[in-house]
Structure 1
Amino acid sequence: MIAAILLALAVPLADTAPLTQHGVERPDGSRITYWLGETRHRSSGVVLVMQGTGCEAVSSKPNLRHAAGILRPGDRALLIDKVGVGSDDGTPVVDGCSQRYWDQYTLSLRVQDCLRVIADLRRQSWWNRRIVIFGGSEGGAVAALLAPLVPEAKAVIVLSSGTGVPVGELIRAAVPPAMAAEAPAVFAAAHERPTGQGRWGGLSYRWWDDAVDIVPARSLVQSTVPVLLIHGARDQSSPVSTARAGYEMARNAGKTNVEYRELAELDHFMRTADGTNHMDQVLDDAATWIEARKQPRRLAGRF
């Protein structure tokens, strides 16, 4: 989970559609920045693509737009910046990110921001009220948490995210033993003083305090939307056992809307041991899966 995902996509800028910037306010008056791709249609669906850990601006990552184009060609890409990204509020940059990012960013806030952006989309006449939600690594956890909260969701795809165990347990399973031994003390310190001043594993104590006990698959169990879990058996950042646990949780709950695909030769970034990148093929297969779940046109209209 600590590792970012979708970095494996090497995408020429010419292959990505331009984005337009939009915004909506949080209750505290701060602004959520989100970006929409173009469409040639008067009415369009959207595909929300969420990257993993980090504070990079989504507009600087053409691989996210590329993924959206593979998953839902013709629909508008939706990308949402995290709090404190691209901020001009004068807060200092610390360890490559704004202090506001360290102070405020959590999984829960990211979910809330997504819901506020989707609520803003509901006011737009062009949106056909259909959304595909896709996330990798930490973004996959957010996709799972969103699954039961977005009635317009038509499919949710979770890539390289160990959804079936508490986030704290996932991290302890993924990091080197010396770092795993530090985790209990770090988590206790984060609960005692959840601020952006303390940091561990590339994330703030504020983030750890919020995330440690979250089990994303519990949200999947509450959802009726079709869900595809994709995981590489060679994943060292989110061990495959944590992904299997998410699928087993869904199966044990009697859920038939959740499908699990384990890719034997691939790692967290959908690469084989020789470094060959298979991300485009994985996304293309996911797009085929989405298409197969369309309801008949006469019953449900255009997907």
Structure 2
Amino acid sequence: MNYCIVACYALFLLVSFPSISLFAERDNISITREDGSLIQGILDFPDSEKDFPLVIFIDGSHENSVTGNHEKLASLCNAHKIGFLSIEKRGITPKGIDKKEFIAHDCAEERLSDYALLLKQFRVGKIARGNGCCILLGASEGGKIAPQLALAFPSVVQGVVLISSGGGISFAEEMKYQTRQHIRQSNVLRRLGFKIRGVIFPEEEDKYYKKILEMPESLKMYRTKTWKWWASYLRQDLLSTLLKIDMPMYMIHGAKDVIIPVKSADRVKEAFDKAGKTNFEYARYEDLGHALTGREDVYASMMEWIQHTSAQSAQRGLEQ
């Protein structure tokens, strides 16, 4: 069943910063999966810097190469003497997409597996470690993956940044919100067209999600994703995972986000306050949507947090 919503957790962070070549040295990353296929990535680090902290980027659900977002964010990080590493989703390269390969492997578990292999390589020194401080930056869908990695690799990861990822309400509720927003923005004729084509409306989605969870490996398509992809996120209890993390976390969310409702992020903050946990910092922007395009103020605050967290990590290392 086709559906009109195209953006299921795609987040484009593009902003205007100087070319990466002005600031950085580059390593091409290649890691072999168990089946022999390769994880391809890019690590850009500050020129002549040996003790840099490293940000590992986990991007959203879009079917584009990570290169565009990487170039812009890496230049920002390198200018602040921070390394930046990204890997491609399976089936995607800077040259294009192998659609069949991408669809077959596009789900939370496989993305988690790829980043777990990456973090294991980092842990044993097969990837440039800098000063040993590693911070995960998860954007949109990537923010659903980063917390699980932080929980699994507490000796490797020292901090987590989450952008427009929510987590305080269920994935199903976040998706129904997205559907309602899209319908609300459509005209009367388009809404009539939805009904003629049998489009699923929010009040009917739970029944459809139940069908998906009964066939969690199916490659049938719903909206722009497979049932396998949907099931992998419908099964998650992200709030429970977040509350188990003790390392510093920084969450950015905009009140104008029409993809993930800001109340999903608000409830994460409320849950941390209720639990008496002080490792969570929440940056709520009333005038921000899902993407951070052109928001140098948001980036500046994020970079300040990353630098502060890195400095704290280095200090703890000296004290041990």
TM-score over 0.5 for the alignment? yes
Aligned position for 2:124: 123
Following superposition of structure 1 onto structure 2, how do residues 173-184 of structure 1 map, counting pairs within 5 Å?
Answer: 173-176=177-180, 179-184=201-206
2:38 to 21, 31, 36: 31
- Give the whole-Å Cα distance in 1 for the aligned partners of 2:218 and 2:26: 31
Aligned position for 2:195: none
1:85 to 82, 92, 106: 92
- Give the whole-Å Cα distance in 2 for the aligned partners of 1:292 and 1:87: 33
Q: Does 1:51 align with 2:59?
A: yes
Aligned position for 1:291: 307
1:248-296 deviation line (CA, Å, top 9, x unaligned): 222222211011121111111246xxxxx31x22111111123334328
User: Residues 44 and 74 of structure 2 are in contact (CA less than 8 Å); yes or no, is this contact kept in structure 1?
Assistant: no
- Give the whole-Å Cα distance in 2 for the aligned partners of 1:267 and 1:193: 34
Aligned position for 1:274: none
Q: Does 1:155 align with 2:159?
A: yes
Which one-letter code corresponds to 1:86 in the other structure?
Answer: T
* TM-score (normalised: structure 1): 0.83
* TM-score (normalised: structure 2): 0.79
User: Residues 216 and 231 of structure 2 are in contact (CA less than 8 Å); yes or no, is this contact kept in structure 1?
Assistant: yes
Aligned position for 2:49: 41
Larger radius of gyration, structure 1 or 2?
2
1:69–1:225: structure 2 CA closer, same or farther, 3 Å change rule? Answer: farther
RMSD: 2.8
- Give the whole-Å Cα distance in 1 for the aligned partners of 2:315 and 2:219: 56
Cα distance, 1:182 vs structure 2: 4.9
DSSP 3-state at the match of 2:152: coil
Structure 2 portions without partners, runs of 5+: 1-6, 184-199
DSSP 3-state at the match of 1:230: strand
- Give the whole-Å Cα distance in 2 for the aligned partners of 1:207 and 1:283: 30
- Give the whole-Å Cα distance in 2 for the aligned partners of 1:236 and 1:298: 40
Structure 1 portions without partners, runs of 5+: 272-276
- Give the whole-Å Cα distance in 1 for the aligned partners of 2:314 and 2:250: 22
Aligned pair count reads: 288
Following superposition of structure 1 onto structure 2, how do residues 1-303 of structure 1 map, counting pairs within 5 Å?
Answer: 2-11=8-17, 13=19, 17=24, 19-39=26-46, 40-59=48-67, 61=68, 63-71=69-77, 73-86=80-93, 98-124=99-125, 126-127=128-129, 128-150=131-153, 151-176=155-180, 179-195=201-217, 197-270=219-292, 277-278=294-295, 280-293=296-309, 294-295=311-312, 299-301=316-318
- Give the whole-Å Cα distance in 2 for the aligned partners of 1:202 and 1:161: 19
Aligned position for 2:189: none
User: Residues 70 and 284 of structure 1 are in contact (CA less than 8 Å); yes or no, is this contact kept in structure 2?
Assistant: no
Cα distance, 1:233 vs structure 2: 0.9
- Give the whole-Å Cα distance in 2 for the aligned partners of 1:7 and 1:196: 31
- Identity over aligned residues, as a percent? 23
1:241–1:296: structure 2 CA closer, same or farther, 3 Å change rule? Answer: closer
